Homo-oligomer: A and B are copies of this chain.
Amino acid sequence: MKISVQEADFDVGAEISALRAGNPQIGAVASFIGLVRDLNDGSNVAAMTLEHYPAMTHKALTAIVAESETRWALLGCTVIHRVGALFPTDQIVLVAVASSHRADAFAACEFIMDYLKTQAPFWKKEQTPDGERWVESRNSDEAAAGRWG
Contact = CB atoms under 8 A, between A and B. Distances in A.
Interface of A: 11-14, 16, 20, 24-39, 88-89, 100, 102-103, 105-106, 109-110, 113, 140, 144
A29 B113 CA distance: 12
A106 B112 CA distance: 12
A34 B31 CA distance: 12
B103 A144 contact: yes
A20 B106 contact: no
A37 B27 contact: yes
A38 B24 contact: yes
Contact of A28 (B20, B34, B102): B34
A15 to B, nearest CB: 9
19 contacts: A11-B13, A12-B12, A16-B33, A20-B35, A24-B39, A25-B39, A26-B37, A26-B89, A27-B36, A28-B33, A28-B34, A28-B35, A29-B32, A30-B32, A30-B109, A31-B32, A32-B105, A103-B144, A106-B109
